[in-house]
C-alpha cells in the first residue's frame, strides 16, 4: 500500500471538493480501491501505485479545469473522469482566440482588431506600446497577456507599475501610509487581476511577490528578468522615467507600455516620455506600436461621443495655437 498527499496551493478546497464534498464523493465512487481523505488544503490517497498514478492524472485535470474556467461542477468532474485521454481533455480548455477563462467562467479574449493586434504583437515582440484613449481595453488586454504567460509558466513574475502622478488630486491628503495612499491609484490593475484569478490565488501571488504592483519609482536600479512587466498610464512618465523603466528589461522578459497621450497630467514644463518614445523608438526592430482608437471602446456608447467631443476641442485649441 502506498500513501500520497496532494496539496491544493492557493485554491479554496471548497471550490474543488464541492459543496458538502459533492465532487469528492464522485472521485471516491470512481476510485473505489483508493482511500481518499480530505483535510484542510490537502487530500490524502492510500492504495496501490497504479491507481494512485491514475488518480493524480485525473485530479490534475480538475485543477487545470478550475484554473481556466474559475469553477468546476459535478458534471465537469464526471466528464473529466470519463475522458479517455488526459491530453485531449486538457486541449479542450484552450482556444486560439481565448486568452484565458476568468472567474465565473467568463471568456477573456481580444474583442477588437487592435486588441487582437496587441495579442499577436506580444507573441512576436518582447516590447510593445499600446496607445489609445480610455476604454479601449489596452490595460486589460496587457494584464490578460501577463496572467496567461504566468499560467503557461513562460515567466516567473508579473510586475504592474504606474507613475505616481496626481491626476488633479493630492495624494498627501489621503489617510494611511504610502501603500494605503497608492492602492486606490493602482485600483484598475487590481480590478483586472480580480477578473482573471481566483481571490485566494491572487492574494497568494501578491503576498509572495509573484505579482507585484508598485509605483514606477520603485523600479529604479533593478534588473527585471523572467518577468512580464506592464507600465500603465505611461503618458505621465517623463522621458527619463520611461527610459529608466525600459532599461530594466532582463534577457527573458516581456514589456508592455500602455498610455493615453490625450490625458497627460504632468506639469506644463515636463514632456511626456510616451509621446517622445513614439518618435525615438518607432524604427527599432523588436518594438511594436499599436494605436487604439474610438472603434476599440467597449464601454457605454456615450463614452465614444465624450471622447470625440474632447478631441475636437483639443484639435481646435491646437490650430489656434499654431495660428498664433
Higher pLDDT: 285 or 81? It is: 285
The percent of residues above 90 in pLDDT, for the chain, comes to: 43
Model pLDDT, residue 320: 58
Reply yes or no on whether the pLDDT at 168 is more than 50.
no
* Statement to judge: residues 62 and 186 lie in one domain: no
Where a domain ends, among 43, 59, 91?
Answer: 91
Where a domain ends, among 33, 66, 91?
Answer: 91
Under a CB-based contact definition with an 8 Å cutoff, are residues 74 and 22 in contact?
Answer: yes
Model pLDDT, residue 156: 95
The phi, psi pair for 221, rounded to 5°, reads 80, 5
The CATH number assigned to the domain holding 28 equals: 3.30.1370.10
Please give the average per-residue pLDDT across 38-50, as a whole number. Answer: 90
Residue 20 structural domain: 2-91
Reply yes or no on whether the pLDDT at 143 is more than 60.
yes
* Statement to judge: residues 107 and 82 lie in one domain: no
For residue 12, what pLDDT band results from cuts at 50, 70 and 90? confident
Name 119's Cβ contacts closer than 8 Å, sequence gap at least 6: 99, 110, 141, 145
* Statement to judge: residues 66 and 131 lie in one domain: no
Note the pTM of the prediction, 2 decimals.
0.66
Model pLDDT, residue 297: 80
* Statement to judge: residues 81 and 53 lie in one domain: yes
Model pLDDT, residue 167: 43
Q: What is the DSSP letter of 186?
A: T
Of 81, 78, 71, the residue nearest 102 (C-alpha):
71
* Statement to judge: residues 164 and 254 lie in one domain: yes
The CATH number assigned to the domain holding 309 equals: 3.40.50.300
Model pLDDT, residue 11: 80
Model pLDDT, residue 101: 67
Per DSSP, the residues of 223-260 read -B-SEEEEE-SGGGS-HHHHHHHHTTB-TTEEEEEEE-
* Statement to judge: residues 37 and 163 lie in one domain: no
Burial degree of 3 (CB within 10 A; 0-12, 13-18, 19+): exposed
* Statement to judge: residues 117 and 207 lie in one domain: yes
Model pLDDT, residue 314: 63
* CB neighbours of residue 179 within 10 Å: 10
* Statement to judge: residues 75 and 102 lie in one domain: no
Reply yes or no on whether the pLDDT at 169 is more than 50.
no
d(CA 245, CA 274): 12
Of 27, 256, 275, 242, the residue nearest 125 (C-alpha):
256
Higher pLDDT: 323 or 183? It is: 183
Of 40, 52, 43, the residue nearest 2 (C-alpha):
52
Where a domain ends, among 91, 119, 144?
Answer: 91
Reply yes or no on whether the pLDDT at 118 is more than 70.
yes
Using CA of residue 262, residue 278, residue 274, residue 114, what is the dihedral sign? positive
* Statement to judge: residues 119 and 226 lie in one domain: yes
Model pLDDT, residue 228: 97
For residue 170, what pLDDT band results from cuts at 50, 70 and 90? very low
* Statement to judge: residues 172 and 267 lie in one domain: yes
* Statement to judge: residues 105 and 71 lie in one domain: no
**Angle value at C-alpha 83, between 79 and 88, nearest 5 degrees:** 120
Model pLDDT, residue 177: 55
Higher pLDDT: 295 or 184? It is: 295
Please give the average per-residue pLDDT across 55-59, as a whole number. Answer: 89
207-259 residue pLDDT tens: 999 999 988 988 999 999 999 999 999 999 999 999 999 999 998 999 999 99
Please give the tally of structural domains in the chain: 2
* Statement to judge: residues 63 and 108 lie in one domain: no
Higher pLDDT: 83 or 135? It is: 135
Using CA of residue 134, residue 135, residue 141, residue 144, what is the dihedral sign? positive
The phi-psi region of residue 253 (left if phi > 0; otherwise alpha if psi is between -120 and 50; otherwise beta) is: beta
Amino acid at each position: 500500500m502506498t500513501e500520497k498527499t496532494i496539496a491544493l496551493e492557493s485554491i479554496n478546497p471548497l471550490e474543488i471538493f464541492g459543496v458538502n464534498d459533492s465532487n469528492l464523493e464522485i472521485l471516491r465512487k470512481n476510485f473505489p480501491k483508493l482511500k481518499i481523505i480530505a483535510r484542510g488544503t490537502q487530500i490524502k490517497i492510500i492504495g496501490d501505485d497504479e491507481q494512485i498514478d491514475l488518480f493524480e492524472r485525473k485530479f490534475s485535470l480538475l485543477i487545470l479545469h478550475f484554473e481556466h474556467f474559475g469553477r468546476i461542477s459535478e458534471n465537469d468532474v464526471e466528464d473529466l473522469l470519463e475522458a479517455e485521454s488526459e491530453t485531449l481533455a486538457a486541449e479542450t480548455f484552450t482556444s486560439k482566440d481565448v486568452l484565458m477563462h476568468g472567474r465565473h467562467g467568463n471568456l477573456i479574449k481580444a474583442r477588437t482588431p487592435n486588441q487582437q493586434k496587441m495579442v499577436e504583437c506580444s507573441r512576436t515582440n518582447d516590447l510593445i506600446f499600446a496607445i489609445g484613449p480610455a476604454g479601449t481595453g489596452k490595460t486589460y488586454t496587457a494584464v490578460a497577456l501577463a496572467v496567461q504567460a504566468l499560467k503557461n509558466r513562460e515567466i516567473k513574475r508579473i510586475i504592474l507599475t504606474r507613475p505616481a502622478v496626481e491626476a488633479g488630486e493630492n495624494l498627501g491628503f489621503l489617510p494611511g501610509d504610502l501603500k494605503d495612499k497608492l492602492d486606490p491609484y493602482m485600483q484598475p490593475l487590481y480590478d483586472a487581476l480580480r477578473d482573471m484569478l481566483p481571490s485566494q490565488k491572487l492574494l497568494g501571488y501578491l503576498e509572495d511577490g509573484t505579482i507585484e504592483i508598485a509605483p514606477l519609482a520603485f523600479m529604479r536600479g533593478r534588473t527585471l528578468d523572467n518577468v512580464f512587466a506592464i507600465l500603465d498610464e505611461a503618458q505621465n512618465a517623463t522621458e527619463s522615467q520611461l527610459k529608466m523603466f525600459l532599461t530594466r528589461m532582463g534577457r527573458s522578459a516581456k514589456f508592455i507600455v500602455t498610455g493615453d497621450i490625450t490625458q497627460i497630467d504632468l506639469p506644463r514644463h515636463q514632456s511626456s516620455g510616451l509621446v517622445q518614445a513614439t518618435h525615438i523608438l518607432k524604427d527599432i526592430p523588436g518594438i511594436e506600436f499599436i494605436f487604439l482608437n474610438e472603434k476599440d471602446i467597449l464601454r457605454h456608447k456615450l463614452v465614444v461621443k465624450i471622447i470625440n467631443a474632447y478631441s475636437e476641442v483639443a484639435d481646435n485649441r491646437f490650430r489656434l495655437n499654431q495660428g498664433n
